[in-house]
Chains A and B, each alone.
Chain A
Amino acid sequence: MKALTYVGAWGALMAGFFLTLGLAHARLGAFYLPVAMVIAAAQMMVVMWYFMHLRVSSRLTWLFAAGGIYWLGILFVLGLADYLSRGWLK
């Protein structure tokens, strides 16, 4: 990859950083948390894709990287499905 590609990725990461910081003061209430997590997830993708060279790695490497996130997804989806739904039935 060209050096400029890395600098562009860094620019995107810093934009995400300032956006996260700025929106924290915008009084979004309960919406801030999901918005911040979406920005963080996007930043994670940029770091993995460019800085961790997934872009130029084999498809099998993609599978390994996605696998870790997939298992993390199981933990969060099943775990939060319990805790988020506890107040639904009184």
Chain B
Amino acid sequence: MSEGILKEQFDSLEQQHDASRLGLWLFLATEFLFFGGLFMGFAVYHLVYPLGFAAAGKLTNLWCGSINAALLLTSGLTMALGVNAAQRSRAPAASRWVALTMLLGAAFLAVKGVEYADDIHKHLVPGAHFALANQPPAQIYFWLYWTMTGLHAVHLLIGLGLLAAVWLKVRRGRWIGAEGAATELTGLYWGFVDVIWIFLYPLLYLIDRHT
């Protein structure tokens, strides 16, 4: 069984597994830097336009942001438990945890959709009919808000696609145990999506709430 999984350039399954794990961490490092540029932009504009950012930061939907933070942190737990079950070759448990992770991820996107509709309704989209007409820097805040949460949502959507592929395999007893690398790597990617929201949540929803 394991001979079919081991690629010829590796000495052992363990080495192959380590290499794929390293590759994904390297990819995640580029992803952190990709988002890092936006975080850096947010930091700089927050320093340059404290008043405009303070005015804008009060208008984000705290309920939606908080519910989503709790949903995503919990999905991190269910994903880790799914990977753990897959590593122990417990296919039914792993597929249940992966399915639950997908549900939590989908719930996050649903809340995000409600929030976006609310934001659009309140004219928080930068442009001609922007709500804070007397605070031009607030438009920069919301440009960053839409870009950062939008890119995060795209990453989450990709994560859901990967999870669906993992779920289809795991429930048929594949991608677990010795051939569970793809399941574990999907878990790593999901953790990254979690980490980005951990920083977006206080920055976009909380730091200017009471200034």
What residues make up the interface of A, taking CB atoms closer than 8 Å to B? 1, 3, 6-7, 9-10, 13-14, 17, 20-21, 24-25, 27, 29, 32-33, 36-37, 39-40, 43-44, 47-48, 50-53, 57-58, 60-61, 64-65, 67-69, 71-72, 75-76, 79-80, 83-84
Contacts and interface: CB of A to CB of B under 8 A. Distances in A.
Interface in B9-56: 18, 21-22, 25-26, 28-30, 32-33, 36-37, 39-40, 43-44, 47-48
Contacts of B30: 68
Contacts of A48: 191, 195
Interface in B190-211: 191-192, 194-195, 198-199, 201-203, 206-207, 209-211
Contacts, number: 131
Given A14-B73, A51-B80, A79-B44, A64 B29 contact: yes
Given A17-B70, A21-B66, A83-B47, A36 B29 contact: no
B21 A61 contact: yes
Given A58-B18, A84-B47, A43 B206 contact: no
B77 interface: yes
B32 A53 contact: no
A36 B66 CA distance: 14
Contact of B198 (A6, A47, A53): A47
Interface of B: 18, 21-22, 25-26, 28-30, 32-33, 36-37, 39-40, 43-44, 47-48, 66, 69-70, 73-74, 76-77, 79-81, 83-84, 184, 187-188, 191-192, 194-195, 198-199, 201-203, 206-207, 209-211
A6 B210 contact: no
